[in-house]
């Protein structure tokens, strides 16, 4: 009976140890990393689940996402917070359908943002309110609202080393804080 009790206690101790809650930083580190390569920041995502990839993006780039979204909104012709709420948010909700993976990734980004930033830090200076989950949808379609604004390409196959995929995009909105 003593051996059985020993194994039961050992099993419970192991189970308790393995079920410890992971921190947000640990969760993000399992899904991606932010590197600097040749003076360029590179976000490397390796999670399979879209929500976990999104969490890493939101957590590792929280301040950049918040600041770049504000700068992008500020740069748009005639854009004011009231117009954003009255026209852009309903338009983005009405005109676009998101597949399950896109929804999961955007949900993950928002979870990462809220895990990294306090409610006060999540506040948009442009909108004078905290960013909401729906804002991520709007930020993803804002170029469609204003017409052709971005360009990009993807290359893969024998022309690429080790048949790796290469994706490049050109974002015309300002990136980063104005100095």
pLDDT at residue 179, as a whole number = 47
Domain ranges for the chain, please list them.
23-149
pLDDT the model gives residue 112: 97
d(CA 176, CA 156) in angstroms, rounded, equals 30
Q: Residues for the chain: how many in total?
A: 179
pLDDT of residue 14: 57
- To the question of pTM greater than 0.95 for the whole model, the response is no
- Fold for the domain defined by 23-149: Penicillin Amidohydrolase; domain 1 (1.10.439)
Angle at 8 between CA 6 and CA 11, to 5 degrees: 105
Residue 49 has pLDDT above 90, yes or no: yes
Lowest mean pLDDT among 31-35, 95-99, 116-120, 155-159: 155-159
64-111 confidence digits (pLDDT tens): 999 999 998 998 888 999 999 999 999 999 998 889 999 999 999 999
Can you give the pLDDT at residue 141?
Answer: 87
Burial of 26 (0-12, 13-18, 19+ CB in 10 A): exposed
pLDDT for the residue numbered 16: 54
Torsion angle, alpha carbons of 101, 102, 105, 107, to 10: -110
- Gap between the Cα atoms of 60 and 34, Å rounded: 7
pLDDT, tens digit, 9 for 90 and up, residues 121-152: 999 999 999 999 999 999 988 877 776 555 66
């Amino acid at each position: 009976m003593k051996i059985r009790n020993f194994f039961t206690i050992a099993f419970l101790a192991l189970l308790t140890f393995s079920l410890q809650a992971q921190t947000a930083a640990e969760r993000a580190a399992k899904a991606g990393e932010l590197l600097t390569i040749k003076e360029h920041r590179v976000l490397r995502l390796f999670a399979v689940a879209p929500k976990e990839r999104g969490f890493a993006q939101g957590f590792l780039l929280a301040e950049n996402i918040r600041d770049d979204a504000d700068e992008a909104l500020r740069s748009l012709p005639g854009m004011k917070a009231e117009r954003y709420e009255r026209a852009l948010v309903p338009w983005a909700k009405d005109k676009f359908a998101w597949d399950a993976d896109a929804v999961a990734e955007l949900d993950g980004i928002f979870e990462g943002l809220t895990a990294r930033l306090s409610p006060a830090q999540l506040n948009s200076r442009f909108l004078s309110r905290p960013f909401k989950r729906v804002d991520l949808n709007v930020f993803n379609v804002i170029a469609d609202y204003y017409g052709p604004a971005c360009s990009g390409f993807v290359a893969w196959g024998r022309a690429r080393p080790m048949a790796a995929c290469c994706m490049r995009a050109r974002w015309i909105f300002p990136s980063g804080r104005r100095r």
